[in-house]
Structure 1
Amino acid sequence: MSSTDRFNGGADGPAIRMMLVPKLRRLPVPVGPVIPHNSIFVDACSRFLRWAAATTFASGPMEDIDVLSRLQSRRRKIRAFSLIVLGVGVFLVAGCGRDARKDAPDVGSDDAANTVDSSSEIQRLGGEVHWTKGNERCAVYLNDIAADDLPVVVAATLSLPGVEEVRMTGAQVGDTAALPIAGIPTLRRLRLTDTSITDATIAKVSQQGNLQLLHLHGAPDVTSEGMSAIESLTAMKDLSLSGKNFDDRVLPALTAMGQLKKLRLRGSGVTGDSFEPIATLPVVDLELAETDFGNQGMPWIAQMPKLTKLNLWLCKVDDAGVKALDGMTQLTSLNLDNLPGVTDASIDTIVGLPELTFLHLGKTSVSPEGVARLTKLQKLETLHVTNLDVPDDVLETLREEMPNLKSLVN
């Protein structure tokens, strides 16, 4: 029998098919049709397996071989051939029509088709869909989508299963687009940047009791009164508010956020006059950069039990405010950049923070002599002393006497 005849099957072809088909039918097919047991693909695989076995084990015509007994006695070799065939099958099946389907979840065929269509539509119009956790959850990024395309993209997003995160940017994003997104039941993280949303969207967001991250950057039409609704977000872990309309009146709504770890109020209207509601929160990372936050709020910061990272860049804090940090030995990161009211008088407080690994003193009024005293911070890894005119000999001393210093920026 020729090699071609052997490949085509012969009398024992059905026996080989009976062994091969159950394996092929168990192939994972995340996208595309399920291959029937009598398909051309299975035919080709079974013929290949029979031909391979015959070529390897036979010294004579295929008809003279007791195929099944040979396969049993040569289990290892047959298993190798089976794995090759199955591997090819997985490759071919998984590759069917992937393109925009490559991140689609493993769901029923109809749901999978709908998911693929929605994902493709979002990507076609400039958005992104990222699948995680075994393709059961996804994040959708809708950055600067054209106003005319936004309704289509929002509708496609709503049809996706397991949407945990949505990012939307652009003035064209108003309540019409944001309200449906805010109502997605699986939503855990929402980032809205430079949008035209109003208090109506905030009210909808506040109904998401499982929301863990909320970033609102540039939402000038949202009021402090409207923000009071977020007090219901008790699962919140990461809150970022940027915009002068987010002022001290927003802070009381945060008191119920008993799991809040990161609080960023960069560029907000917070002054520190009413910072008391924040003092008891388990915040680890606090950013007040580019605000009018002043000394009056520093005593409340000093009472924050879990705080390890504090960013006061371009605030209104001076030596008197820094003094409030005395005893906050848990601090590992302190940014005092662009605080001209901070002088050598603050060095005693700073070197009394032994756990510091990051310190920024750029554009303060600390002298080279004050900088030289920082050698007491033996755990410091990153130090910024920009615009302080620190001479080379002081810089060299810092490098020599601070064994963990990896980055010295001057």
Structure 2
Amino acid sequence: VGAAYALLLGGLPALVALAAEADGLAALAALQRAEAAIKLDADGLVVEARFKGPKVERDGLTALASLPRLRSLVLAGCDVNDEALALLAPLSTLRNLDLRDCPVTNAGLARLAGLEHLAALRLSGKSGVTQVDDGGMEHVARLMGLRTLMLDHLWVSEAGLVKLAPLADLEEMTLAQTLVRDDALAVVATFPRLRRLRLAKTAVTGAGLAQLGKLSRLEDLDISEATALDDAALEPVGRLLTLRKLNLWRAPVGDTGALHLAGLVNLEWLNLDNTLVTDAGLAALGRMQKLSFLHLGSTAVSNAGLDRLAGLAALRDVSLTRTAVDAAGAAALQSRLPEA
């Protein structure tokens, strides 16, 4: 009765509002049936839907079009294929879309072209079901608002990255275990706003890393498990003075390479786990007064080298697992680090 009375008073606008409310309730019911986790804003409207999969029913995806403030959709690991991507086309408010390890192909990406406000697209081929390669990049390039693009474990190379040239506002790109080599880094270096770059498990060398000097805003570089690296490859890395985070886990570099990093005075996070660094290499860290996290696990570091860390006043988290450092050495270091 109350709703009908409101319609009489409000006319068509009230009818539209009531219909929208009904659609919203129906959408929530569909999401509940799909066991999707949701986040609400201060007005109680859905801003994120996270499907746990692997099975996602069609009505769960169709219902999303009735959510006027949906910003984030997480479908990672779900059985969402190219046909299902067509159901996402009406989601004009979407800013984040996570399709990692979904069975989508290049053709499916073409169906996302209408998501004009999309700022983050997350893809990954780690499980092997995502069949996206260089050919799909022409469709990704139409998403002009992208700030974050994740392409880990996909068949993407320099030929595909060239197609992404229209994405001038990219700030984050992940390319772990892709076909990226040195020639591709010349393309990566053309994205002027890039802040975060992941090149883990790629075949890049020092020649390619030298191209990154053009990225004046680069803060986070991951070259872990890049087995083609050597000590000389860290020389151009040492010139990336804007770096705040550097991941060298399982990179084949040692003391000579570490010394190239001595000028990275803005580093706050450094992972040297499973490298060839010894006590001598720790001398390179002396000027890193902003360093708060340091991983030295599985290195040849011993008690004798820890004196070189004592002057790092900001250091709060130091990992010395599987090293020659004993309990006494660790305790002595902790006593000299005010933040640890």
Q: TM-score range by the shorter chain?
A: 0.7 to 0.9
Q: Are 2:10 and 1:108 aligned?
A: no
Relative to structure 2, which stretch is displaced further, 195-204 or 246-255? Answer: 246-255
Matching residue of 1:393: 328
Q: Are 2:92 and 1:185 aligned?
A: yes
Q: Root-mean-square deviation (CA), in Å?
A: 3.2
Quick one: which of 247, 254, 269 aligns to 2:202?
Answer: 269
Cα distance between partner residues in 2 of 1:182 and 1:287? 33
Q: Are 2:72 and 1:162 aligned?
A: no
Summarize the Cα distance change of 1:130–1:33 in structure 2 as closer, same or farther, 3 Å threshold. farther
Offset of 1:306 from its aligned partner? 2.6
Offset of 1:315 from its aligned partner? 2.4
Cα distance between partner residues in 2 of 1:260 and 1:135? 35
Cα distance between partner residues in 2 of 1:310 and 1:232? 28
* Contact 1:241 1:265 survives alignment (8 Å): yes
Quick one: which of 290, 302, 310 aligns to 1:375?
Answer: 310
Q: What per-residue deviation string (whole Å, max 9, x for no partner) do you get for residues 138-176 of structure 1? A: 1221232416x2x33222223422322121122623322
Helix, strand or coil at the partner of 1:232: coil
What pairs with 1:6-405 in structure 2 (closer than 5 Å)?
34=3, 36=5, 108-132=17-41, 134-135=43-44, 138-146=47-55, 149=57, 151-170=58-77, 172-178=79-85, 180-181=87-88, 184-202=91-109, 210-218=117-125, 220=128, 221-223=131-133, 224=156, 225-245=159-179, 251-252=185-186, 254-266=188-200, 268-272=201-205, 273-281=207-215, 282-292=217-227, 294-295=229-230, 297-339=233-275, 341-405=276-340
Query: TM-score scaled by structure 1?
Result: 0.64
Cα distance between partner residues in 2 of 1:276 and 1:176? 42
Cα distance between partner residues in 2 of 1:279 and 1:136? 44
Offset of 1:362 from its aligned partner? 0.4
Cα distance between partner residues in 1 of 2:98 and 2:228? 24
Summarize the Cα distance change of 1:290–1:398 in structure 2 as closer, same or farther, 3 Å threshold. same
Instruction: Compare CA radii of gyration and give the structure with the larger one.
Output: 1
Summarize the Cα distance change of 1:325–1:390 in structure 2 as closer, same or farther, 3 Å threshold. same
Unaligned runs of 5+ in 2: 7-15, 134-155
Q: What per-residue deviation string (whole Å, max 9, x for no partner) do you get for residues 83-129 of structure 1? A: xxxxxxxxxxxxxxxxxxxxxxxx82111211221222122123233
Summarize the Cα distance change of 1:254–1:393 in structure 2 as closer, same or farther, 3 Å threshold. same
Query: TM-score scaled by structure 2?
Result: 0.75
Q: What per-residue deviation string (whole Å, max 9, x for no partner) do you get for residues 258-297 of structure 1? A: 433333344x535245234543332322333344362364
Offset of 1:322 from its aligned partner? 2.1
Helix, strand or coil at the partner of 1:275: helix
The structure with more helix, counted as a fraction of residues: 1
* Contact 1:214 1:240 survives alignment (8 Å): no
Task: Give the number of aligned pairs.
Answer: 301
Unaligned runs of 5+ in 1: 1-31, 38-106, 406-410
Cα distance between partner residues in 1 of 2:204 and 2:237? 13
Cα distance between partner residues in 2 of 1:293 and 1:304? 20
Tell me the amino acid that sits aligned with residue 224 of structure 2: A
Tell me the amino acid that sits aligned with residue 312 of structure 1: L
Cα distance between partner residues in 1 of 2:25 and 2:182? 45
Cα distance between partner residues in 1 of 2:285 and 2:248? 14
Helix, strand or coil at the partner of 2:165: helix
Moved beyond 6 Å, runs of 4+: none
Tell me the amino acid that sits aligned with residue 171 of structure 2: K
Offset of 1:209 from its aligned partner? 5.8
Between the aligned residues of both structures, percent identity stands at 26
